[in-house]
Amino acid sequence: MGFVTPDYGTIFWMLIIFGIVLFILKKFAWAPILKALKDREQSISDALNSAEKARKDVAGLKAANDQIIAEARKEKDLILKEARDIKDKIVAEAKNQANAEAQKSIEFARQQIAAEKTAAINDIKKQVAELSVLIAEKVIKKELEKSKDQEVLVESLLKDLKLK
Amino acid sequence: MTRIIQSFLVILFAVLFCTGVSRANEADSTATEGGISKKFNAGKFVIEHVSDSYEWHIATFGETEISVPLPIILYSSTKRWNVFMSSQFHHGHETYNNFRIEAEGKNEGKIVELNDQGEVLSLPVDLSISKTVAGIFVSVIVLLFIFLSIAKSAKQRVNQAPSGMQNLFEPIILFVRDDVAKPAIGEKRYERFMPFLLTVFFFILINNLLGLIPVFPFGANVTGNIGVTMVLALFTFFVTTFNTNKHYWKEIYNPEVPWWLKYPIPLMPIVELTGVITKPFVLMVRLFANILAGHLIVTVFVSLIFIFAQIMGIEAGLGVSVISVAFSVFMLLLDVLVSFIQAYVFTLLSALYFGMASPEHH
């Protein structure tokens, strides 16, 4: 059999065998093998995608946590500031009240003093009037006795009165 | 230490070959005494090793040939179907049922039908299971065993890491898919061609590799047979032709070239049509020639030993055997490489033709 002349018997058998092998392998080997490869690739890529998604979720969660902490800190600062303000206000109010109270007491004392003074003056005036009356009485009596002495007396009495 | 082992092995080989040659010489002398001149014919030895035959020859010891008989299937107009084993021919020495293997002449190596007077009557239709066909059967059994078991484990181990044989072949399957089919055919259409490409790739690869194993059920020169490569190329041709689109035929019958290349003589269409035929033809010849050449060179190197032993004595054969064995081993290793390359090239070119058969519009 020559090399370069194809033998029809070989071609005949080869056509049949290769055709059958192609059919069998296509149906029972390549279909499941290629499907398994595709499925595995799909599952691997799915797993990678979900891992990536989980990583992103975690990153998002962390960012959210940071935000919550920052907000809480801000709120804390706010509360502290408010408390300080309130304290300052209370202290200031108390001081004012105390001042007002003191002022009132002083005012009251002053009024009391003024009243006492007026009363004392009035009392003195009354006594002077009574004394005057008394002196006048005595002068009148002395005049009756001696007019000159009377004058002297009145004089001295008045002098005394002025001194008082 | 390795040096010593190396030289020891070389000597061992040499001694083995020496005894082989001396035995051959003994057989030679006895044969000459018997009146039949039997000299070592290198050309015949080499050709017989790579050509097809009706029996699967294993070894020859002196006059006794050891071979596996293969079925002969003949159809002739006079005797209808004839099925018998090739051992009936007694290695081509005898006539059976008026059929004979011609030893010489224009029908050398073919089975002819004789009439009762012993004259050649006609050539019967010969559908024998020759050595090549038997080799195809062997490799197909190997092929089916490997891939059906892989398919089984692929079904059982869904979404799990591959194991065993699956692990060995999956990278090759992926290579054919991702580096051959996808770039050549395109993402959209490659899937329908995958079964064919994979079958062709592994059929060629396994036949190439089994052809290199020189032990009985293997070693048949399958992919180095032009009939086999012709059928493979024909499959590629028909798959290409049945998957064409309008664009493909327009490129052939009315390509976009200056008008004078098409009228009045349709130069370009002729060139393009020739290309359609040339493509599978080149596929056929490339695979056949590469594998055949590999087998030829290895057998030539081996026969060199016997040629030298015959011409210049056993010592020369002994000396040459060292070089010959070294070269044979080198060539066999090269052939392993060629086996992979040829399987890849055939598959890649088939895929490219499929891709060209229905180009995607840009």
Q: What is the DSSP string of chain A?
A: --SSS--HHHHHHHHHHHHHHHHHIIIIIIHHHHHHHHHHHHHHHHHHHHHHHHHHHHHHHHHHHHHHHHHHHHHHHHHHHHHHHHHHHHHHHHHHHHHHHHHHHHHHHHHHHHHHHHHHHHHHHHHHHHHHHHHHHHHHHHHHH-HHHHHHHHHHHHHHHHH-
Q: Where are the domains of chain B?
A: 53-126, 131-356
Compare B93 and B234 and report the one with higher pLDDT. B234
A33 near B147, Cβ under 8 Å? yes
pLDDT per position as a tens digit, B294-333: 988 988 888 888 888 888 888 888 888 888 889 889 999 9
What's the pLDDT band for B16 if we cut at 50, 70, 90? very low
Task: Tell me the C-alpha to C-alpha distance, in Å, between residue B321 and each of B9, B38, B47, B327.
Answer: 13, 22, 20, 10
- Residue B351 in this model has a pLDDT that exceeds 90: yes
Of A13, A37, A43, the CB nearest to B136: A13
CA distance B131 to B54: 6
B332 touches chain A (CB under 8 A): no
Contacts of A9 in chain B (CB under 8 A): 126-128, 130, 133
Residues 37-66 of chain A with CB under 8 A from chain B are: 37, 39-40, 43
- Judge residue A125's burial from the number of C-beta atoms within 10 Å of its C-beta, 0-12 exposed, 13-18 middle, 19 or more buried: exposed
User: What ipTM describes this predicted complex?
Assistant: 0.82
B147 touches chain A (CB under 8 A): yes
pTM: 0.73
Cβ–Cβ pairs < 8 A, chains A and B: 121
Which of B28-32, B115-119, B143-147 is least confident? Answer: B28-32
b/e per residue B310-341 (b: at least 16 CB within 10 A): beeebeebbebbeebbebbeebbeebeebbee
Contacts of B299 in chain A (CB under 8 A): none
Compare A88 and B53 and report the one with higher pLDDT. A88
Whether residues A43 and B177 touch (CB distance < 8 A) is answered with no
Whether residues A12 and B151 touch (CB distance < 8 A) is answered with no
- Cα angle vertex B32, ends B30, B35, to 5°? 115
Of B128, B144, B158, the CB nearest to A9: B128
Of A6, A26, A33, the CB nearest to B227: A6
Distance from CA of B34 to the nearest CA of A (A): 30
3-class DSSP assignment, residue B214: coil
Task: Tell me the C-alpha to C-alpha distance, in Å, between residue B26 and each of B15, B19, B20, B29, B60.
Answer: 16, 10, 10, 5, 14
Give pLDDT, residue A58.
95
**A125's tokens:** 């005036």
B101 touches chain A (CB under 8 A): no
B225 near B211, Cβ under 8 Å? no
Closest CA to B309 of B18, B48, B46: B18
CA distance B66 to B69: 10
Rounded mean pLDDT, B125-130: 88
Contacts of A7 in chain B (CB under 8 A): 52, 130, 132, 225, 227
Whether residues B136 and A4 touch (CB distance < 8 A) is answered with no
CA distance B39 to A43: 67
The number of beta carbons lying within 10 Å of the beta carbon of residue A74 is 10
Which of B1-15, B36-50, B60-74 is least confident? Answer: B1-15
What's the pLDDT band for B340 if we cut at 50, 70, 90? very high
A36 touches chain B (CB under 8 A): yes
* Largest interatomic CA distance in chain A: 203
pLDDT per position as a tens digit, A125-135: 999 899 888 98
Distance from CA of A47 to the nearest CA of B (A): 11
Peptide bond into B124 cis (omega under 30): no
Give pLDDT, residue B8.
52
pLDDT per position as a tens digit, B190-233: 889 999 999 999 999 999 999 998 888 888 889 988 999 999 99
Determine the residue of chain B that is closest to A12 in CA distance.
B127
Rounded mean pLDDT, B154-163: 81
What's the pLDDT band for B25 if we cut at 50, 70, 90? very low
**B260's tokens:** 């004078």
CA distance B83 to B80: 10
Rounded mean pLDDT, B184-195: 90
A151 touches chain B (CB under 8 A): no
